[in-house]
Structure 1
Amino acid sequence: MSFLVLDSIKKSFGQTQVVKDFHMAIEKGEFVSFLGPSGCGKTTILRMIAGFETPSDGVISIAGKNQNGLKTSQRNIGMVFQAYALFPNMSVFDNVAFGLKVAGQPKSEIEKRVKEMLKLIHLEHLADRYPYQLSGGQQQRVALARALAPKPQVLLLDEPLSALDAKIRVSLREEIRQIQRQLGITTVFVTHDQEEALSISDRIVVMNAGRADQIGTPSDIYNRPATRFVASFVGTLNIIDAIVEDPAANTIRIGENVIKLREPIGALKGGDQVSIALRPEAGSLNESATGDTALTGKVVSSQFLGSVVRTRFEVGGNQISFDMFNAPDKILPQLGETVTLRFAASDLLLIKD
């Protein structure tokens, strides 16, 4: 039986429905990220799990127990916010101890548990400091320790890294994931940063206008996007307009190029328009590259991105990007040059709206 279940969840504010018939079952110890743009409903779902919002319809259950009628304080949930939310007049030690004191635990148990938490986040030496004396990353680690100290059954993270600079974000997200694995706590993480979601999640929920467009592993979400929205939102992806050439032969036409797809075209007829997707890293200009498919077109731009050079070429009215690793002796494609990109037919995905 799944540990955290969201069954037919809906949420409306007045006439506006912000979460639309959401279903998901999360296993015990799983790390699930809700990914999507602002206003897609991801934070509202998190707030309903926490008890800050009540579902307009549907049931939220944890370990088989209906949570809908419970207050936030009755749900045994830890939560970390974007803005740290530490008590400025309390030391690091007292901030971490706060939930334990509210629960009425003995002083000796509180001291033992706080020391465990500070060791877990590697801040034992800062126990007597106050929030204003800490960096942003240190404050967020204290907020994490405070959330974990009462041993919650679910940990909720509401964009906890978005206020930090890029380098700190990377190190702290890795630390959060390590701690989560070590404790085995069921975790729901809300973010608009696709790299964060892809790097630390067991599964990702891509939210779009109040619905889950796709739920899957990071590999599934990236390599096999289920909708045009997921394809365009997660990673860099070429969306290519094509025409069905011969449905029986499973072929499409892109400009002068006729390509045989691995994925069945389905009920489409010859002459129908179809959208396909191709990742920039999928192809190669190398004539000896392995691949059963190719596209030929003219180079229209080239960008130097450090370790990667991203080039765009035009074919059949589409501008298609492809990436090459940089090397000091590499000869880069020139504007106006005709190039042939070679790749496997299995790298092409039919995009459904």
Structure 2
Amino acid sequence: MSFLTIAKASKSYGATTVVRDFDLAVGKGEFISFLGPSGCGKTTVLRMIAGFETPSAGHISIDSRDVTLTAPNRRRIGMVFQAYALFPNMTVAENVAFGLKVAGADRATIEARVKDMLALIHLEHLAERYPYQMSGGQQQRVALARALAPKPQVLLLDEPLSALDAKIRVSLREEIRAIQKQLGITTVFVTHDQEEALSISDRIVVMNGGRADQIGTPFEIYNRPATRFVASFVGTLNLIDVTVADPAAGTVKIGEQIVTLKEVLAASSGETVTLALRPESGSILDGARGDTALTGEVVSSNFLGSVVRTRMRVGESLISFDMFNSPGFAPPALGERVTLRFSAADLLVLRD
């Protein structure tokens, strides 16, 4: 049973619609990420859940209670913003205590809860510092503790890591996920960083043009994209335009080579369709396994640290593939003809 439900929600500003017929059911304790480019509507949906925006149509409920028109301070929502939004004139402890004071909690309750929250984020020793005396990562931890202190039913995080450097982002996102699991709180996380979404989410909502293009687990989103947009937005991808040879047999023509897919094609012979193939799906090494092969000419090879990304030309298509870097591995030379072996199941037919 869903704990947070968004049903047919839309949001318009005058003649401009930024969210369209948005549906989502979130289970209690689930970690959901909204992933998409700037302007896709992900933050607007988050703000509608928080009560900062009122839907133009549709309904929002939390724990079976309709909160569509309920004021933000009556929704039991905790929110962490991108820019920390800490009170500069308050200490760490005072910032964490703020929501509890507004709620009218007694002094003993506030002191005990603040102590618990600071222990949770491992900043007990900084209780008397002010925000300007702390790093960005420490400030965002305090913002998280402040949001959690009043024991909200739902935690909302609006790109909370985007202002931090790469190493701090990785450690803090892992810490956020660990805290979320420990508390079992239903969480909605907004990001445009696909690695963040893939690494910490139970499910991901990929948004495009105010709609949810696909909702699924990180594994499903990455390996079985439902639309061309999802396939191209999440991860690196080869998009290969091919000519249908025999729809019933699932055969297509790439250049002069015939490839058999794992499905019957809903297309006519001679029609062009687009296939997707992840660069890590194949190998050119001797003895590589796979029921499908393509042979082409190497046109570039780039060293990327842990992997070497090589591109080969097959007919009119350029296909990239990744090989793990190792001391004994020599990348193929430019102009060399190589055979890429992979599973036919890794070739996806993209549909808009």
Task: Using structure 2 for the length normalisation, give the TM-score.
Answer: 0.99
Counterpart in 2 of 1:133?
133
Shift of 1:249: 1.5
Shift of 1:287: 3.0
The AA in structure 2 aligned to 1:273 is T
The more displaced of 246-255 and 85-94 is 246-255
Offset at 1:193?
A: 0.1
Alignment map for 1:1-353 (pairs within 5 Å): 1-266=1-266, 268-353=267-352
Instruction: Check the 8 A contact 1:91/1:129 in 2, yes or no.
Output: yes
Q: Deviations over 1:50-77 (max 9, x none)?
A: 0000000000000111101210001000
- Secondary structure at 1:281 match in 2: helix
Offset of residue 263 of structure 1: 2.4
Question: Alpha-carbon deviations, 1:109-128, whole Å to 9, x = none?
Answer: 00000000000000000000
User: Per-residue CA shift, 1:19-53, capped at 9, x if unaligned?
Assistant: 01011100000000000000000000000000000
Q: What letter corresponds to residue 304 of structure 2 in structure 1?
A: L
In the alignment, residue 134 of structure 1 is paired with which amino acid?
M
Q: Report the secondary structure of 2:108's partner residue.
A: helix
> Residues of 2 paired with 1:307 and 1:25: CA distance?
39
Question: In the alignment, residue 252 of structure 2 is paired with which amino acid?
Answer: I
Aligned-pair identity (%): 73
Aligned partners of 1:111 and 1:256: how far apart in 2? 74
Tell me, yes or no, if the aligned pair for 1:78 and 1:147 is still in contact at 8 Å.
Answer: yes
Mapped partners of 2:125, 2:236: distance in 1:
43
Counterpart CA distance in 2 for 1:263 and 1:75 is: 48
Offset at residue 328 of structure 1 (A): 1.4
**Pairwise CA RMSD of aligned residues?**
0.6
- Where has structure 1 moved over 4 Å in runs of 4 or more? none
Amino acid at match of 1:245: A
| SS of residue matched to 1:152 | coil
**Which residue type is aligned with residue 192 of structure 1?**
H
Give the Cα separation in 2 of the matches to 1:185 and 1:291.
Answer: 43
**TM score, norm. by length of structure 1:** 0.99
CA distance, structure 1, for counterparts of residue 35 and residue 264 of structure 2: 29
Q: What amino acid is aligned across from residue 206 of structure 1 in structure 2?
A: V
Q: Provide the rounded CA distance (Å) in 1 between the counterparts of 2:250 and 2:317.
A: 21
Aligned length: 352
